[in-house]
Amino acid sequence: MFVPPQEVGEDGSILAKDINGNLIPASQILAKPPGTRALVAGLAGEPTYLTVTKDNKLHSWGIVDNCTHLGCTFPWNPNENQFQCPCHGSRYDHEGRVVRGPAPLPLQLAHVSVAGDYIRIAPWTDIDPRTGKKPWWV
Ligand code: FES
């Protein structure tokens, strides 16, 4: 008998879904080439970028698609290896650090893990590995 995975984990994690609310199998994203940024519905439905790593896994952090300037969503530009916000021109590097303002803060992170073929996204409350400090969103 198929037992569906728990929708909400004890750690506050949720299962990644697509824009239509369907679960996204990890294998679907991992079929794409390394460096791919895949947008999924993450915590509280917030669009979140997942990254396919060089060794064909999902990076352990997701990047929330919410500009820290005024909250626009933004595309990934693979040619420049940046997230580029169309609203006022902010740019972030491949890990979500600000490269050019007016955005004042790095992009929010979320934990990403794979269980079976499901992707779990959990709140990130530990030290921000990019700054070595407590995250601004906690
Ligand atoms: S909302 Fe992104 S630069 Fe202003």
Whose CA is closest to atom 4 on ligand 1?
A: 88
Decide if pLDDT at 91 tops 90.
Answer: yes
Alpha carbon dihedral 56, 113, 85, 101, in 10-degree steps, equals -110
Q: Is 26 exposed, middle or buried (0-12, 13-18, 19+ CB in 10 A)?
A: buried
Decide if pLDDT at 4 tops 70.
Answer: no
Q: What's the mean pLDDT in 18-44?
A: 93
Report the top-level CATH class of 14-123.
Answer: mainly beta
pLDDT at 33: 95
Task: Give domain limits for the chain.
Answer: 14-123
Q: Is this model's pTM higher than 0.95 or not?
A: no
Pairwise CA distance, residues 16 & 138, whole Å? 21
By the 8 A CB rule, do 120 and 108 touch?
no
- pLDDT-based confidence at residue 12 (cuts at 50, 70, 90): confident
Atom of ligand 1 minimally distant from the CA of 88: 3
